[in-house]
Amino acid sequence: MTSFVLALDQGTTSSRAIIFDDASHIVASAQQEFAQIYPQPGWVEHDAEAIWQAQLATAKEALARAGLTAVDLAAIGITNQRETVVVWDRRTGRPIHNAIVWQDRRTAAQTDDLKAPQTAALIREKTGLLPDPYFSASKIRWLLDHVDGARTAATAGHLACGTIDAWLIYRLTDGAVHATDVSNASRTMLFDIHRGAWDAALLELFDIPPSMLPEVVDSSGVVGHTAAALLGAEIPIAGMAGDQQAALFGQLCFEPGMVKNTYGTGCFMLAQTGETPVRSASNLLTTVAWRLAGQPLQYALEGSVFIGGAAIQWLRDGLGIIDRAPEVNDLARSVPDSGGVIMVPAFVGLGAPHWAPHARGAILGLTRGTTAAHVARATLEGIAFQVADVLEAMQSDMGQALGELRVDGGAAASDLLMQIQSDSLGVDVLRPSITETTALGAAYLAGLAVGVWDGPAALAPHWQLDRRFRSTTDPTARQQRRSDWLRAVTCAKAFRAGEGER
C-alpha cells in the first residue's frame, strides 16, 4: 500500500501544498500567493487569516490534483517562514492584529536597548541569537504595547501567540492544539536552546506573559489531528519545522559537519552540529535543528546572506541586461572570466559573517573593456563569494573542514553558479534531483512519526544526486580571487554616501 504525506510549506510570499509518496516523489502540488502589507517604510505585515485560507485552499487543490482524498494521507507536515508572529484571542480564535513579518524593522529602536553588553550576552548564551528586530520576541511585545486592550487581555490569559506553525496547527485542529516545535521556538528569542524550554528571564525582559506561549513539542511526532470538516477526515499532524531547518532535514544532513545552502532570494546556510550547540566566534547563529521523538535536541549553525538570487533579479530589473533570470547563465558564460570585475551585492548591507548594515553594493575593477557579460559573471561570483565567507566562518567555528556542500533553492538550478561556487570553495557542491527540500523535510518529519519510513536511515536511498560540481581552480588562483573579493568588501563597507568632506 502506498502512503502519501502532505507537506504544507508556508513561505513569506506564498502558501504551498505538496503531496509526496513514500518514495519521496512529488505526486501533486498547489501554490497561492497572498498580499504583502507595508503600512510604513520598514514595516511588513501579513493577514494571518489570508495565510490560513491560502494554505487550506492549496491543501484541497493538491489533493484534487493528485486524485486523492484525506483518508489517503498518512500524515501532514508543516514548514513555515520563521520568526513571523501572530497574536490571537482564545475567546474568538481571531488574530488581534496582522502578523508581523520577520523582515519588519519597527522594533529596531527597542532592540538597540538589548545591545548593552550584559543583555546581549544573556541573549546570546540562552538563545544562540543576536539582538535584532528579526526575531519574534520584540514583535510580540510591540503588539502587546500597541494594540488597544491587548496587554489587559493577555494578563487575563485570553491571548495566545505563536509563529506561523503554531497558528496553522491551531486552525487545522479547530483550536484544540496550541503548540510549536523546538526549531521554531528557537527563533523567538524566548527559548533556552540548552534546556529546551521557554525562559522566564527572557519573558520578563520582553514583558510577555507566559500564558500566551504555545506548548513546545518535537519536530517529529503526532501533535494533533485536523478537524474532520476541513479536509474530509481527521489527519495526524506529525511534523513541524522552520523552513531552513526543514531544508536541512530534507537534504538528509543528519551527521555533524554536513552542510546545506539554499539559494533563493537570499542564501541560507546551515551546518548540522549534532547534540552540541556550537558557539560562534564569527557572529553566526546557534539554533535548534530539530528534535525527533524521544531523542535529544539537535543543533545547527546558521549564516544568512541577504542578497543571493536577488542580485540576478537586479541584473534583470535594475540594469535590464537580461529579460529572465536563467539568461544570466548564457550571458556570463559568453566570457571566460569576469575580466577583473568584482561585484559586491550589498544592496541591503551585508549579513553573516560581515554584519555591515550600512554597506552598499559596489562594482569594482571596471575598465573600457568591461561588458555586461563581465558584470553578469561577477554577479554570480559575488553570490558565491558571500556563501564562501559564511562557509569559512562555519569551518572556523566548528574547528573542522567541511567536506562538501549540498545545495537547493531556485538559483541552484544554475550550473555555472554551482561551478563557480565549487571553484571559490575548493569543496564539492552536490545538487540533489529533488530541490524542493523544504517541503520534503516537513514530509519526512511527519512520515517518520507515523511509520511511513522506519527511521532516518531508511531515507538515505531517497537522496539522489543530480550533479556533483568539482573545483577546477588551483589553490593559488582561488586565494588570489578571494583576496580581491575581501578587499572589495572592505571598500563596500567603507563607502558611505554623503559622508565626505563638505
> What one-letter code names the amino acid at 36?
Q
x/- letters, 272..311, toward ligand ADP (CB under 6 A): -------------------------------------xx-
Strands (E), 121-246: 159-163, 179-181, 191-192, 197-198, 215-217, 220-225, 236-242
User: Which residue intervals of 4-93 are DSSP H helices?
Assistant: 48-66
Residue 342: CB minimum distance to ligand ADP, A: 19
Considering only the stretches 41-49, 140-148, 406-414, 459-467, report the one whose residues sit in contact with ligand ADP under the rule CB under 6 A: 406-414
Residue 329: CB minimum distance to ligand ADP, A: 6
Q: Find the binder of ligand ADP among 325, 348, 356, 364 (CB under 6 A).
A: 325
Residue 31: CB minimum distance to ligand ADP, A: 11
Question: Distance (Å, rounded) from C-alpha 266 to C-alpha 459?
Answer: 28
| Cell numbers found for residue 500 | 565626505
Question: Distance (Å, rounded) from C-alpha 385 to C-alpha 22?
Answer: 38
- Give the nearest residue (CB) to ligand ADP: 410
Q: Does 313 bind ligand ADP (CB under 6 A)?
A: yes
Chain positions 178 to 197 lying near ligand ADP, rule: CB under 6 A, are none
Q: Does 432 bind ligand ADP (CB under 6 A)?
A: no
Q: Does 414 bind ligand ADP (CB under 6 A)?
A: yes
Q: Does 321 bind ligand ADP (CB under 6 A)?
A: no
Nearer to ligand ADP, 411 or 488 (CB): 411
Q: Find the binder of ligand ADP among 75, 223, 237, 328 (CB under 6 A).
A: 328
Kindly report the number of other CB atoms within 10 A of residue 342's CB atom. 23
Q: Does 437 bind ligand ADP (CB under 6 A)?
A: no
x/- letters, 256..275, toward ligand ADP (CB under 6 A): --------xx----------
Strand 73-80 and strand 45-46: the pairing is unpaired
Q: Find the binder of ligand ADP among 217, 413, 418, 459 (CB under 6 A).
A: 413
User: 19 forms bridges with which residues in the sheet?
Assistant: 6, 28
Bond preceding residue 353 cis, omega within 30 of 0 = yes
Nearer to ligand ADP, 219 or 262 (CB): 262
Question: Distance (Å, rounded) from C-alpha 438 to C-alpha 443?
Answer: 9
Nearer to ligand ADP, 362 or 383 (CB): 383
Of 44, 162, 161, 163, the C-alpha closest to 105 is 44
SS (H, E, C) 336-382: CCCCCCEEECCECEECCCCCECCCCCEEECCCCCCCHHHHHHHHHHH
Considering only the stretches 115-123, 182-190, 277-285, 323-331, report the one whose residues sit in contact with ligand ADP under the rule CB under 6 A: 323-331
What is the H or E stretch that residue 86 is in? Answer: strand 85-89
Residue 377: CB minimum distance to ligand ADP, A: 12
Considering only the stretches 99-107, 126-134, 405-413, 477-485, report the one whose residues sit in contact with ligand ADP under the rule CB under 6 A: 405-413
Task: Kindly give, in sequence order, each residue whose CB lies less than 8 Å from that of residue 25, ignoring residues fewer than 6 positions away.
Answer: none
**Contacting positions for ligand ADP (CB under 6 A):** 264-265, 309-310, 312-313, 325-326, 328-329, 409-411, 413-414
